[in-house]
Chain A
């Protein structure tokens, strides 16, 4: 089962606007993502990585070319989302401010046609909270604004532990949190992969982060995938100038980064 292809894109193009204002957000992209691997999409802001993520979620459709999940185009996202779930950058905009977090974690079961029984739902929420090192009792009656950013990001991941989807699309899950929480979240992503053998599409602008988590790297620039390959190949022997640029721009501790 290891080599089953989940996502396959062939010459996919996704455009916005028309005429003079036409923007090719994703431009002639071909790739495939296999079951059980962690793929990172790396690129600067505006390079089209989030659009590609939304295409994987079925929120955008290719303007031309094909984009398939398990061999079929994504049509009904209500069904699609039972297998593919996402974690976004800003956890505060992902939760409703007016409901407790616990009730919202429970509401995640709404994507199924038939919800499990109430006690089973409660139990699965408890387990998910324990999986991200939060005591369920601490969260009793808490609203999103009462938690810190790192805790909220963990609640988003708890939602993934609740639903246990096949594919997780992580759209810059660590860009709003500090280094300590980032290490924490990476640990949980690894846990998801190891325990649930989940396929993870990790989106980031930090090639260092991508290098650490992924099995395969896609470097994007202006809608195109300019380089792809194993992390060691891409970071040690970069071929594209955009990859070199990305590598240079990380403020590495041991190298000369910027002159004063």
Chain B
């Protein structure tokens, strides 16, 4: 049974001039227990907006347009932010935020921040018990537990901070973890340490299902089972990691792979090519294919015909001409 279902989810922002910006349009996917779904795409394509939607956390100016998100069969839509915070976050769906430094209160010690999370969700435990459980949990992370728990965020290195944030996010064994670019602010060495820790947690069964959001496709190939590529609020391609990375079908995925670069010997001549132009303005209604303006293979009718998801070579592609 699918643990996480997203059904035609559309989200929009309402600006103060009454204008609607359709940041996420018609996103559907299901996830099985134990699946790691990678979502990639350039900045501004709606990845982070989608995360808020997937948690059911709608803080103005973000509003749901239509669609449904279900965790274990239970809908997350139409709830107040208070209800979401009390009943859904940390337990059902938990998010690992992007910047660890902004996620931690600089005036409090890590153990107090973590204790708050537990105290808010588990009734009737005293502080001593909480600290003991925290210590047990943080021992799994391969850090100096006492030092980390008793430090203020500023005293920790970036890697320790990010690992603490992951630890706090997964304290209550959530069914679903959404990692929103957890490593994009780290250097390559620390990034590897953090990814290792996430794999450790998966192995130990702290959580099993994860959505991993990043713009580094090479990283996703190592982390995710399945990859979905987003462009201008839509999923344009979804398949297994191998399919998407090594055999992309949608023109945008192909262009995205062309923009990657590598340090492989003798590859200096292989220049990364940027995709010309900019994504469409999502405030205006878009009739045809959203990538048509920048697509090298665009045909005249692409600008009129709305592209629908179809199955090409075992994966979903939103392009009429992909083969």
Q: Which residues of A contact B (CB under 8 A)?
A: 44-46, 148-150, 175-184, 186-187, 205-209, 211-212, 231-232, 235-236, 245-247, 249-254, 257-258, 260
B252 → chain A closest CB, angstroms: 10
- Whether B261 contacts A177 by the Cβ 8 Å rule is no
Q: What are the nearest 7 A-B pairs in CB distance? A: A208-B263, A205-B187, A178-B215, A183-B274, A184-B274, A183-B272, A249-B188
Task: Select one of A150, A232, A246 contacting B188, CB under 8 A.
Answer: A246
- Whether A208 contacts B262 by the Cβ 8 Å rule is yes
- Whether B43 contacts A148 by the Cβ 8 Å rule is yes
Chain B contacts of A249 at CB under 8 A?
Answer: 188-189, 191-192
B16 → chain A closest CB, angstroms: 13
Verify if B128 is at the interface (C-beta below 8 Å from A): no
Chain A contacts of B119 at CB under 8 A?
Answer: none
Chain A contacts of B246 at CB under 8 A?
Answer: 253
Verify if B320 is at the interface (C-beta below 8 Å from A): no
Chain A contacts of B274 at CB under 8 A?
Answer: 180-181, 183-184, 187
Chain A contacts of B215 at CB under 8 A?
Answer: 178-180
A196 → chain B closest CB, angstroms: 20
- With the chains together, A205 CA to B183 CA distance in Å? 13
Interface of B is mostly: loop
Instruction: Count residues on chain B whose CB falls below 8 Å from chain A CBs.
Output: 44
A89 → chain B closest CB, angstroms: 9
With known contacts A45-B158, A258-B195, A179–B217 Cβ distance under 8 A: yes
- Whether A235 contacts B263 by the Cβ 8 Å rule is yes
Chain A contacts of B184 at CB under 8 A?
Answer: 175-176
Verify if B190 is at the interface (C-beta below 8 Å from A): yes
- With the chains together, A258 CA to B219 CA distance in Å? 10
Task: Select one of B44, B221, B259 contacting A179, CB under 8 A.
Answer: B259
Chain A contacts of B195 at CB under 8 A?
Answer: 258
A interface footprint on B250-272 (CB within 8 Å = 1, 0 otherwise):
00000110011111110010011
- With the chains together, A251 CA to B195 CA distance in Å? 11
Chain B contacts of A211 at CB under 8 A?
Answer: 263, 268
A254 → chain B closest CB, angstroms: 7
- Whether A252 contacts B262 by the Cβ 8 Å rule is yes
B231 → chain A closest CB, angstroms: 10
